[in-house]
Structure 1
């Protein structure tokens, strides 16, 4: 046995008792770690005393001395481990997201910048400048701001098609190769500026930002809300004119047949759209504007039995069908909304007149002149007539599906609405601070990939029996610390993840294994 000095990566010196047998060194005892020559000499002396004791020389250790020795050994071991820690990180959210990112197939995009931007968009959506700081502080990823900006241009030019193709292929695999149903909807994304160009224009804003320039985003999703494809349109574009181009483009780009059903809400229903869908050979289910139907059709809709699950299957002259149904829940909501609205009117105009002050509350009506009060009242007959429609809803289709199947399929349209909520809320796609079309397109592309990863993680968590939502899992993972420890004798490093709390232990399998990805 002999005393050996070892230099650590931190610059300190570990003093150990070692033995050489058959040409191999074996550490028997870590005496301690020193940083000054005096510390090291004292540790060497202690090591020699330890050898003298255990080599058979007659030294006596009393009980108190033995306890103190154990404490010193424990302190030395702790110091040895701590002195060889070369880094810590909070990479667990990144680890989880990276696994899902790769499982989908986005690792086929060779640029790591996309991966970094998607991870930060899901974990902590913020400006690109703030993203650089976030990646460096949390994940020890050193990505420059200029590199990100250059990558946005590359993403716009070369990789939008690839990421959408990857998303489509993965989604098709989830559903056995057949998409079956496509849901389409649009939303608007506004900008905090007054500048306008060929893409950014004012228009009807779904965010109530009608004075801000915006773009119109059209999104196709599958069953379960998995994003398939998207397109950006000029901010002044009428949403009803966006559906056919994106559906046609989707079919052509991904060489799909037309064995699927397009589902959209009543806002996209127009005679032109219906004709284009029919002429294009598409099957569709679109929300009907039942209060604008012809008198005969309206009478048949109203005659529908007001009972859940009962439908009136009405034929149009052109062969399409109108499926009219009733819902108690919808009826209650319709009645409640109307009662609230009428009550507000009654309170606002309790005096029976409409004054200039009332008009001034309605946007640009402030430029109107009112020379005297205008008599106003609630038309009770109109209120009564409106109540006839409570609970009724119609769906126009050219499919052979049963009324129940049409109803059920349309109800899943909430998936695309939820996708927009995730994109606008959790992923903060807007407001946007990019001001060139290519950067805007690239930003939306990153959010599209992030939405796909988010939805797949959501599915996998549910499949693995996880009790937490995506947002909760990532919040918990933020507190999980990973430590990197140098092992000089092995000439390598090891990383240990510390899951200490009950919540952290509950999600540890997401970080430490890949089994949950294959369930």
Structure 2
């Protein structure tokens, strides 16, 4: 007859074995394993019972159900005495029975622990607010309302705070200056990872599901042509897209009026002296660039193609409108209107100097054959649309290259010819001399702007920063602080893995940990990790996650 046997090992664990009696002598049939907790002991005993019940064991069918009792670890009440040959206790013969195991909860605990690890590695645990941390993690995994955030956290295997506690945390995040602390931690991380002397800036709008305006939520210019109340959000990131500063303004404020307050706040917060700001072509205005320059900032901004005939007047006079692929022309551009700084009688382009050209900025123009082909296709489509409108084949609002005089519409041939002449050109304006930044470096730095654009896309799609359902200024600011923090964590995840945060979450969320109740105790068991997921976890945490 076979039975389940428990013995205490030299390490203090409880070994579970299957033994049998043959001819009056006892023999160990199988060693099932060693348990260190009550739950592990229950699992091992259940496994041993399954082995005993396997066909071929010859057990009598007496119709008697085993009694489910709690089986304690051997020697748990005090220190274990010295043992010899790993056996110290001779258990009573008989069948040991425990209650069958039950799964009482499952959760994506691996994903939750990884996100907590990244959050902590950025130094954000210095806030000492676990509820705020969980709000950030929930925003990363499944952006939703405060009412639904608890469900997301439960699915991750975490214990959520109450809704009232979450709302109090949002208020504390704003009034407690969390964003200032987070901005300092983000700056420290970015400085340790690279150079923060050059930053990228852009703006976007976040709209509200509301009908009425107030002092902050105003109807203004919307790239999506929405008429809902909105706010204007400015974001400053390092050259790799890691967030450094965020600010929100009235929905009807001009985008050009947001850049100076943000960069001033960033410089003053960290005591920086030399800072170069890169912004797209929608940011520059004569007053904007003047204010940035007078405030001591370097800048690189995009220039509108319509300024090319003035900036490249000398080139067109001496070389015509012919350009070679990759050609770069380093010249100057008037700060406002026209001036005499660029003498078209001279064949050589002037080299910008602050003292010699006080009414001009440095301008760099580059020609790309690939861009020219794309611009030509766009112009052809616009020309065809204009001809269709002029010919009465289409009825639409006045498109480009159509001139309306009374009831007569004509094709603007002169404007079309000028546009064809400038295809393939892209301009950049800066107040940095060639001795500090070469023309190719100006172009390369400007092209890094896609990082800030990507960060905005992440905040709008992956983090669902819009639409907003809060209405008070404090709640809006707290919401932006959550999004700003989540964006920093998402950027860190992307930099470590090379994958989008949504891809990482899709891979890790299905890994479910299970909490099993057995033998009067409950224990959580991690999922099995395949080599690909383990490599991903190593990249995120810097070490293998084995427990």
- Alignment TM class, shorter chain as reference: 0.7 to 0.9
Structure 2 spans left out of the alignment, 5+ residues:
28-51, 60-65, 67-94, 334-356, 400-405
Q: 1:104 aligns with which of 106, 117, 122?
A: 122
CA deviations 1:253-291 (Å, max 9, x no partner) are: 122222x31111121111111111111111111112241
Q: Distance in 2 between matches of 1:447 and 1:395?
A: 31
Q: How far has the Cα of 1:299 moved from its partner?
A: 1.6
Q: Is the 8 A contact 1:308 1:326 kept in 2?
A: yes
Q: Distance in 1 between matches of 2:329 and 2:215?
A: 46
Q: How far has the Cα of 1:194 moved from its partner?
A: 1.2
Q: 2:6 aligns with which of 11, 18, 23?
A: 18
Aligned residues: 451
The normalised TM-score by structure 1 is 0.78
3-state DSSP class of the match of 1:497?
Answer: coil
Q: How far has the Cα of 1:335 moved from its partner?
A: 1.4
Q: Which has the higher helix share?
A: 1
Q: Relative to structure 1, is the Cα distance of residues 267 and 203 closer, same or farther in structure 2, using a 3 angstrom cutoff? A: same
CA deviations 1:360-402 (Å, max 9, x no partner) are: x99xxxxxxxxxx933233233222211110111111111311
Q: Report whether the alignment pairs 1:122 with 2:144.
A: no
Q: Distance in 2 between matches of 1:140 and 1:83?
A: 22
Alignment-derived partner of residue 465 in structure 1: none
Q: What are the residue-to-residue correspondences of 1:188-207 with 2, within 5 Å?
A: 188-207=205-224
Q: How far has the Cα of 1:55 moved from its partner?
A: 5.4
Q: Distance in 1 between matches of 2:140 and 2:417?
A: 48
Q: Report whether the alignment pairs 1:241 with 2:260.
A: no
Q: Relative to structure 1, is the Cα distance of residues 70 and 250 closer, same or farther in structure 2, using a 3 angstrom cutoff? A: farther
Q: What are the residue-to-residue correspondences of 1:40-55 with 2, within 5 Å?
A: 52-53=21-22
Q: How far has the Cα of 1:442 moved from its partner?
A: 0.7
Q: Distance in 2 between matches of 1:115 and 1:443?
A: 13
Q: Relative to structure 1, is the Cα distance of residues 422 and 67 closer, same or farther in structure 2, using a 3 angstrom cutoff? A: closer
Q: Report whether the alignment pairs 1:459 with 2:500.
A: no
Q: What are the residue-to-residue correspondences of 1:494-509 with 2, within 5 Å?
A: 495-499=525-529, 504=533, 507=536, 509=538
Q: How far has the Cα of 1:142 moved from its partner?
A: 2.3
The normalised TM-score by structure 2 is 0.74
Q: What are the residue-to-residue correspondences of 1:140-159 with 2, within 5 Å?
A: 140-158=158-176, 159=178
Q: Relative to structure 1, is the Cα distance of residues 469 and 313 closer, same or farther in structure 2, using a 3 angstrom cutoff? A: same
Q: 2:313 aligns with which of 287, 299, 306?
A: 299
Alignment-derived partner of residue 184 in structure 2: 165
Q: How far has the Cα of 1:510 moved from its partner?
A: 5.5
Q: 1:341 aligns with which of 359, 363, 382?
A: 382
Q: Relative to structure 1, is the Cα distance of residues 71 and 349 closer, same or farther in structure 2, using a 3 angstrom cutoff? A: farther
Q: 1:321 aligns with which of 344, 359, 362?
A: 362
3-state DSSP class of the match of 2:293?
Answer: helix
Q: Relative to structure 1, is the Cα distance of residues 54 and 497 closer, same or farther in structure 2, using a 3 angstrom cutoff? A: farther
Q: Is the 8 A contact 1:156 1:438 kept in 2?
A: yes
Alignment-derived partner of residue 86 in structure 2: none
Q: Relative to structure 1, is the Cα distance of residues 133 and 19 closer, same or farther in structure 2, using a 3 angstrom cutoff? A: closer
RMSD: 3.6
Alignment-derived partner of residue 542 in structure 2: 514
Q: Report whether the alignment pairs 1:427 with 2:463.
A: yes
Q: What are the residue-to-residue correspondences of 1:370-389 with 2, within 5 Å?
A: 374-389=407-422
Q: Distance in 1 between matches of 2:9 and 2:414?
A: 103
CA deviations 1:22-60 (Å, max 9, x no partner) are: 998954437xxxxxxxxxxxxxxxxxxx654585289xx
Q: 1:56 aligns with which of 11, 25, 46?
A: 25
Q: Is the 8 A contact 2:460 2:466 kept in 1?
A: yes
Q: How far has the Cα of 1:332 moved from its partner?
A: 1.8
More off after superposition, 142-151 vs 236-245:
142-151
Q: Is the 8 A contact 1:309 1:404 kept in 2?
A: no
Alignment-derived partner of residue 62 in structure 2: none
3-state DSSP class of the match of 2:222?
Answer: coil
3-state DSSP class of the match of 2:526?
Answer: strand
Q: Is the 8 A contact 2:234 2:246 kept in 1?
A: yes
Q: Report whether the alignment pairs 1:267 with 2:282.
A: yes
Q: Distance in 1 between matches of 2:222 and 2:186?
A: 28
Q: Distance in 1 between matches of 2:233 and 2:544?
A: 34
